[in-house]
Amino acid sequence: MSNVNLQGYKVDNIEFVNKKENGSKIALGNKFSYNVQYAKDRNMAKAEFDLEVHDKEDPGNFRIRVVLVGFFAYNTDVKKEIIHTDTFKALFPYAKALITTVTANCGIQPIIIPEIDIDNQQIYRFDNGKK
């Protein structure tokens, strides 16, 4: 078994706002949050990926936000920080494709977000409860 195995995913939320005039220039920015919850007494995890792309100067007039939830089996011999990054890498392509597809189907130039280097991000770990 690899470190993680994506069992499935679902889209919890999609928000799209485009009040810009046709031909307007937009300086895009993005932000994301990613959280993993581990099931007690099982090697299953649920990950929530919240990704937003917006106009840096006017986010109220142009923004797309998607929230995906992925369900994973994982190898219990692997540290949770590795599980965290590996589940992110497995779920990210689906979030990226969803943003591209939604924007392409809304009559604007498709937005293709760049890769996110999760390996060089700070990971904050909060353990709730007993192991």
- The proportion of the chain whose per-residue pLDDT surpasses 90, expressed as a percent, equals 73
Name the pTM for this structure: 0.85
pLDDT one-digit tens code per residue, 114-124: 887 777 766 55
Residue 44 lies in a domain: yes
Q: Is 46 exposed, middle or buried (0-12, 13-18, 19+ CB in 10 A)?
A: middle
Q: What is the CATH number of the domain that holds 32?
A: 3.10.420.10
pLDDT one-digit tens code per residue, 72-116: 999 989 999 899 999 999 999 999 999 999 999 998 889 999 887
Tell me how crowded residue 9 is: count the other CB atoms within 10 A of its CB.
17
Distance CA 11, CA 14 (A): 7
Domain count, the chain: 1
Pairing of strands 28-38, 44-55: antiparallel
Which structural domain range is residue 53 located in?
4-120
pLDDT at 131: 44
Residue 131 lies in a domain: no
Instruction: Say which residue the tokens 């928000």 belong to.
Output: 15
